[in-house]
C-alpha cells in the first residue's frame, strides 16, 4: 500500500512532535474496556465450591457499572459459569478476538487451580476424577493426562497485552481439591507439588496479574457469601472505584494479608506510563498558570532531533536532519549513515522469483496458467517446537521433539488475491457476510468486509486474507478439479519443517528479530506510524499492512513469507500439547475442531514472528491477517 506516501511530511511532523511532547499534559482516553468473568464451581467429579458464582456475579456487576463490556454471557447473567475445557477455550478465543484495539481488557477467574511442574493451570468443570489418582500422578504419562484436561493459565492470558493497551488478570483460584490432596498426601506428604498456583514463566508487555494467594499457597473459599479476597476487592471498588489500577490492587492485597490468613500477590509487567482506572478517573485539578516558557536552546533542539533519528534505518530521516542542520554537529555522522544504508539497500535488492532457480519440477502449462509455483521439499528429520532455552517460547510450543517428514511440495508463495479472485469468479463463490477487521479505527466483526475489502489497500499480488478454513478448502477443491492434480494444506509438522529450512535458530534467518525486515513483513517501525501503541521490531520493512508476495528474501528452501505477511492455515487439529496430531491432517468434514495456524502476519511482533510459534483458530472465522498456502504430496 502507499505506506511511503508523504513520508517526508510525516517525518517532519514526528520530529516537531518529539520536541513539543514534553510540554504537553499527559492524557488517557477512557476508551473501550472489555471483561471476561468466569466462575467454575459445580465440578462434575470433584465436588462443588461455595463462592465462585456469587463472587463472579458481584465482580461482573461492578465492572458493568464501570463501563466494561462483559464478554458473551453464558448461562447466568453476565458471568460465564461452570465451563468445561472446550467452553473455556472458546471463551478465551472470543476474548482474544474482541480485545484488539481495546484500552483495557480484564479477566477474572474464580474456581479451582493447580500447578504441575511449576506451571499454572485452571480447572474446567469436566475434569476426570481418574486423572487425580496417586498411582497416576507418580508418572510422567499420568501428569500429561492430567494436563490435557486443564487450561494453562499462560495460554489464557497469552497475547492480551499485545491486543489491548493494558491487560489485567485476576485469579481467585487454588482452592483445595480433596481428591488431589488425598492422593498426593500419601506420596508427597504435606508438601504437594500440585498445590497452589505457580506464576507464568514469561513476562508480558503491559499487564497486571493479581492473585488471591501467594505462589504455592491455597486460597480460602470463605464462610460468607464471598471469598476473603473478592470481598475485599468488592469493598475497595465500592469505596474508591477511581483509584489507579496498580494502587487499587496493591491496597486489596495489603488488606487481605492483614488478618485474613492468606497472602495475595501482584505481578506487574511494563504497565504504560499513562494512568489507568477500573472506573472513571478523578477529575484533574486545573493546571496552574504557567509563566511564558523561555525559547528553547538551539543546541538542545538539535540534539533532540538527532536523538529521534540516530537509530533509524531509513535514509530519509538523516536527509531531513541535514536539511534542517546542513552544518550541524552530527552532519558527518548523518552523511556516513546515509551511505551505509544505501549500500545495505544495494546488497539487499528484492529478489525476483525468476532470479532463483526453482527446486521443483518444471510445471506443466496447465498449472502455470494458475500462477502456481511449487517447491519440492526433501524428506528429513528436524527438532520441532521450543524448549526452555528460548525465553520467548510459550508453553504450547513444548516439548521440543524430533519429527521425521516425508518429501512433499509446498507453494513458493501464499495464495494471492489474483489467484483467489479467479476461483471466486469461476465458481461464483460467496465471500461471506463479514470479516474481523478495522473500520474507522475500531476493531470488530465488520459487516461487508471480506477478501476484497479487508480494511486496507491491496493489489492482485498481495496475499488473499479474510480467508476462513472453509474458504481455503473450497479453493483447493476447485483447483484440483481444474488442474487434475491433488493439492491440500500442509500439516503443522510439514509447515514448521519447511519454514525452518534446516535452521535451528528461532527464526529461519537467525536469532536476531531486528533482521526481520530483510526476510518478512512484520510489525515494524512502518506499522508503528499507523498503530502508535504497538510493540514492534526495530527495523522498517516499508509496509504497514500486507506486502506483495515474494517481496522479501526467501528461506533456504526458496520459500517466501513463511513468517509474516499472512497467517497460514494448516490441516492439523490444535492440541494444547504436542501428542502426534501435528503430523496428521484432520478430516475436511470436521467443521468443529480448531486448526493450527502458523507463521504470524504483518501485525506480528517479536514473540509471534518465530518458527515455533503456534496458534489455534476455529474453521469458520475470517480475519484481516489470515490466508493460506498450498501443499502437495
* For the chain, domain boundaries: 33-269, 294-347, 355-632
- For residue 6, what are the contacts with CB-CB under 8 A and spacing of at least 6? none
Domains 33-269 and 355-632 in one fold: no
* Domain 355-632, CATH class in plain words: alpha beta
Q: What is the pLDDT of residue 496?
A: 97
Q: What is the pLDDT of residue 80?
A: 84
Place of cell 528479530: 513
Q: What is the pLDDT of residue 71?
A: 83
Strand partners, 416: 463
Q: What is the pLDDT of residue 281?
A: 58
- For residue 236, what are the contacts with CB-CB under 8 A and spacing of at least 6? 243, 248, 251, 252, 255
CB atoms within 10 A of CB 66: 17
Q: What are the backbone angles phi and psi of residue 605, rounded to the nearest 5°? A: -90, -170
Tens of pLDDT, residue by residue over 403-414, are: 999 999 999 999
What does the block give as the cell for 289?
498558570
Residue ranges of the chain with per-residue pLDDT less than 50: 1-30, 74, 285, 347-365
CB atoms within 10 A of CB 624: 25
Q: Is the Cβ–Cβ distance between 630 and 487 less than 8 Å? A: yes
Decide which of 3.40.50.1460, 3.30.470.20, 3.20.20.140, 3.40.50.1220 is the CATH code for 33-269: 3.40.50.1460
Q: What is the pLDDT of residue 443?
A: 67
- Select from 580, 577, 623 the least CA-distant residue to 600: 623
Give the global pTM: 0.57
Handedness of CA 303, 307, 311, 315 (dihedral sign): negative
Q: Is the Cβ–Cβ distance between 624 and 449 less than 8 Å? A: yes
Amino acid at each position: 500500500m502507499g505506506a511511503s506516501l508523504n513520508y517526508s511530511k510525516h517525518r517532519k511532523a514526528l520530529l516537531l512532535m518529539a520536541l513539543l511532547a514534553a510540554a504537553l499534559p499527559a492524557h488517557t482516553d477512557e476508551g473501550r474496556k472489555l471483561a471476561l468473568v468466569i466462575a467454575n464451581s459445580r465440578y462434575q467429579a470433584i465436588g462443588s465450591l461455595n463462592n465462585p458464582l456469587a463472587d463472579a456475579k458481584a465482580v461482573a456487576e461492578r465492572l458493568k457499572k464501570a463501563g466494561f463490556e462483559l464478554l458473551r454471557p453464558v448461562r447466568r447473567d453476565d458471568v460465564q459459569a461452570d465451563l468445561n475445557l472446550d467452553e473455556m477455550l472458546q471463551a478465551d478465543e472470543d476474548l482474544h478476538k474482541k480485545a484488539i484495539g481495546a484500552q483495557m481488557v480484564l479477566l477474572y477467574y474464580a474456581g479451582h487451580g493447580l500447578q504441575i511442574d511449576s506451571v499454572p493451570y485452571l480447572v474446567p468443570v469436566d475434569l476426570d476424577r481418574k486423572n487425580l489418582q496417586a498411582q497416576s500422578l507418580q508418572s510422567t504419562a499420568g501428569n500429561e493426562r492430567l494436563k490435557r484436561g486443564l487450561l494453562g493459565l499462560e495460554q489464557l492470558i497469552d497475547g492480551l497485552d499485545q491486543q489491548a493497551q493494558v491487560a489485567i488478570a485476576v485469579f481467585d483460584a487454588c482452592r483445595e481439591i480433596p481428591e488431589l490432596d488425598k492422593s498426593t498426601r500419601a506420596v508427597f506428604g504435606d508438601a504437594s507439588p500440585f498445590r497452589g498456583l505457580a506464576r507464568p514463566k514469561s513476562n508480558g508487555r503491559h499487564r497486571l496479574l493479581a492473585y488471591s494467594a501467594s505462589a504455592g499457597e491455597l486460597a480460602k473459599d470463605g464462610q460468607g457469601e464471598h471469598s476473603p479476597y473478592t470481598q475485599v476487592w468488592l469493598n475497595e471498588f465500592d469505596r474508591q472505584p477511581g483509584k489507579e489500577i496498580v494502587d487499587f490492587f496493591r491496597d486489596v492485597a495489603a488488606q487481605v494479608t492483614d488478618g485474613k490468613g492468606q497472602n495475595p500477590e501482584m505481578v506487574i509487567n511494563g504497565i504504560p506510563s499513562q494512568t489507568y482506572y477500573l472506573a472513571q478517573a478523578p477529575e484533574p485539578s486545573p493546571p496552574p498558570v504557567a509563566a511564558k516558557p523561555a525559547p528553547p536552546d538551539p543546541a538542545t533542539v538539535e540534539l533532540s532531533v538527532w536523538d529521534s533519528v540516530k537509530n533509524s534505518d531509513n535514509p530519509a530521516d538523516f536527509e531531513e536532519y541535514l536539511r534542517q542542520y546542513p552544518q550541524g554537529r552530527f552532519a558527518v555522522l548523518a552523511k556516513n549513515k546515509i551511505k551505509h544504508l544505501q549500500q545495505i539497500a544495494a546488497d539487499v535488492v528484492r529478489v525476483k522469483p525468476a532470479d532463483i532457480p526453482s527446486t521443483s519440477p518444471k510445471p506443466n502449462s496447465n498449472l502455470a496458467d494458475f500462477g502456481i509455483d511449487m517447491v519440492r521439499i526433501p524428506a528429513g528429520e528436524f527438532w520441532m517446537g521450543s524448549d526452555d532455552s528460548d525465553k520467548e517460547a510459550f508453553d504450547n510450543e513444548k516439548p521440543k521433539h524430533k519429527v521425521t517428514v516425508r518429501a512433499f511440495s509446498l507453494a513458493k508463495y501464499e495464495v494471492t488475491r489474483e489467484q483467489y479472485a479467479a476461483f471466486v469468479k469461476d465458481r461464483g463463490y460467496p465471500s461471506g457476510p463479514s470479516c474481523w477487521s478495522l473500520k474507522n479505527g475500531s476493531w470488530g466483526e465488520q459487516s461487508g468486509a471480506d477478501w476484497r475489502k479487508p480494511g486496507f489497500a491491496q493489489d492482485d499480488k498481495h496475499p488473499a486474507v479474510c480467508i476462513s478454513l472453509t474458504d481455503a478448502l473450497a479453493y483447493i477443491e476447485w483447483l484440483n478439479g481444474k488442474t487434475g492434480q491433488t493439492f491440500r494444506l500442509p500439516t503443522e509438522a510439514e509447515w514448521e519443517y519447511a519454514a525452518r529450512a534446516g535452521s535451528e535458530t528461532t527464526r529461519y534467518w537467525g536469532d536476531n528479530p531486528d533482521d526481520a525486515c530483510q526476510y518478512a513483513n512484520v510489525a515494524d517501525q512502518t506499522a508503528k506510524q499507523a498503530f502508535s501503541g504497538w510493540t514492534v521490531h526495530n527495523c522498517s520493512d516499508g509496509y504497514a499492512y500486507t506486502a506483495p508476495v515474494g517481496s522479501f528474501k526467501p528461506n533456504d528452501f526458496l520459500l517466501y513469507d513463511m513468517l509474516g505477511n499472512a497467517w497460514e492455515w494448516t490441516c492439523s487439529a490444535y492440541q494444547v500439547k504436542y501428542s502426534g496430531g501435528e503430523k496428521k491432517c484432520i478430516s475436511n468434514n470436521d467443521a468443529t475442531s480448531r486448526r493450527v495456524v502458523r507463521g504470524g502476519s504483518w501485525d506480528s511482533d517479536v514473540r509471534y514472528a518465530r518458527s515455533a510459534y503456534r496458534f489455534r483458530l476455529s474453521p469458520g472465522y475470517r480475519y484481516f491477517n489470515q490466508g493460506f498456502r498450498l501443499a502437495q504430496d
